[in-house]
């Protein structure tokens, strides 16, 4: 390596180190989660696995005679849309200059989760109705619709994208709307509230208990995708809300960390 390249590399390393030193502890946690989603082949493998299982379950159901129209319900963010580019920006940007989620949605720049495009188009070819139920606010409909269309997802139309209205985040009523005229074959999401509202604003212990009750549904009717960046699981650590100071969040994370005691302790 010549002297000029060495100088450039040294400057780059110090620049990155300086940026990292300025990142708050809260954002450092998000940094590792975002890197895992963006760079690990394990993440891609889990996403492909989820959609492969979904296809198997759909094929099984297609062998059954049904009088009702079939439907599949999928969440949007971190289920079929990858927002890790937005998460990465929020890590490095100053709080006063942070890209708002509204601006991100308007950009319609989210990429497809690996395997999502193929599976959704397969389901569409089989005559299955697809509904995208998301807790994005209704004001995000235009940008969301543009993004979904840009990625070539099927049935990208307003009556198939059911967003949150009036800050009411329970998805149950919207799932019920679909169920009125359809047999729901599958639900897919990255957050357990995508499957059942009982997981919303609950305790860690209660969420474990409810997951155990539904254990036979996972991989059958409920297909879960990985999302280490955010979700109801994180809010649960903080008592059901993310709107507390970063210092308090760090304290809560440590309080909930489980470890073993060595014999000499």
Backbone angles phi, psi at 159, to 5 degrees: -75, 0
Torsion of CA 191, 197, 200, 203, to 10 degrees: -100
Task: Identify the pLDDT of residue 102.
Answer: 92
In the predicted model, residues of the chain with pLDDT beneath 50 are: 7-19
Backbone angles phi, psi at 96, to 5 degrees: -80, -15
pLDDT digits (tens, 9 = 90+) for 177-213: 999 999 999 999 999 999 999 998 889 999 999 999 9
Of the CA atoms within 13 Å of residue 129, those in its CB half-sphere come to 16
Task: Identify the pLDDT of residue 2.
Answer: 59
- Assess if residue 241 is contained within a domain: no
- Assess if residue 81 is contained within a domain: yes
Task: Identify the pLDDT of residue 242.
Answer: 81
Contact present, 193 and 200 (Cβ < 8 Å): yes
Count of the separate structural domains present in the chain: 1
Task: Identify the pLDDT of residue 15.
Answer: 45
Cα 19 to its chain centre, rounded Å, is 27
DSSP bridge pairs for 130: 72
Task: Identify the pLDDT of residue 173.
Answer: 94
Task: Identify the pLDDT of residue 167.
Answer: 65
Tokens (6 digits) for 235: 């809010």
Contact present, 150 and 108 (Cβ < 8 Å): yes
- Assess if residue 244 is contained within a domain: no
Task: Identify the pLDDT of residue 28.
Answer: 80
CATH number, residue 83: 3.40.50.1000
- Assess if residue 129 is contained within a domain: yes
Contact present, 80 and 89 (Cβ < 8 Å): no
**Residue bearing tokens 């005559």:** 127
- Assess if residue 151 is contained within a domain: yes
**Structural domain for 74, as ranges:** 23-235
- Assess if residue 79 is contained within a domain: yes
Task: Identify the pLDDT of residue 98.
Answer: 56
Contact present, 73 and 187 (Cβ < 8 Å): yes
- Assess if residue 265 is contained within a domain: no
- For the chain, the straight-line distance linking the first and the last C-alpha, in angstroms and rounded, comes to 50
- Assess if residue 263 is contained within a domain: no
> Which is it for strands 111-112 and 81-82: parallel, antiparallel or unpaired?
antiparallel
């Amino acid at each position: 390596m010549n002297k000029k390249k060495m100088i450039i590399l040294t400057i780059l390393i110090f620049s990155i180190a300086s940026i990292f030193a300025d990142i708050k502890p809260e954002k450092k946690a998000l940094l590792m989660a975002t890197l895992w989603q963006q760079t690990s082949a394990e993440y891609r493998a889990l996403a492909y696995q989820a959609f492969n299982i979904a296809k198997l379950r759909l094929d099984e159901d297609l062998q059954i005679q049904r009088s009702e129209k079939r439907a599949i319900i999928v969440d949007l963010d971190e289920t079929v849309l990858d927002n890790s580019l937005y998460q990465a920006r929020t890590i490095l940007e100053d709080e006063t200059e942070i890209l708002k989620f509204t601006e991100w949605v308007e950009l319609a720049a989210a990429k497809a989760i690996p395997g999502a495009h193929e599976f959704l188009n397969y389901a569409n070819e089989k005559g299955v109705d697809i509904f995208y139920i998301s807790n994005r606010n209704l004001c995000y409909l235009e940008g969301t619709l543009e993004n979904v269309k840009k990625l070539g997802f099927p049935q990208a139309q307003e009556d198939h994208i059911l967003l949150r209205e009036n800050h009411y985040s329970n998805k149950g009523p919207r799932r019920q709307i679909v169920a009125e005229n359809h047999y729901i074959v599958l639900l897919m999401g990255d957050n357990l509230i995508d499957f059942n509202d009982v997981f919303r604003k609950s305790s860690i212990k209660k969420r474990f208990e409810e997951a155990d009750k539904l254990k036979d549904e996972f991989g059958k009717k409920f297909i879960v995708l990985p999302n280490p960046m955010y979700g109801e699981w994180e809010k649960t650590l903080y008592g059901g809300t993310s709107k507390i100071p970063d210092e308090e969040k760090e304290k809560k994370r440590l309080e909930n960390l489980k470890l073993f005691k060595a014999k000499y302790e």
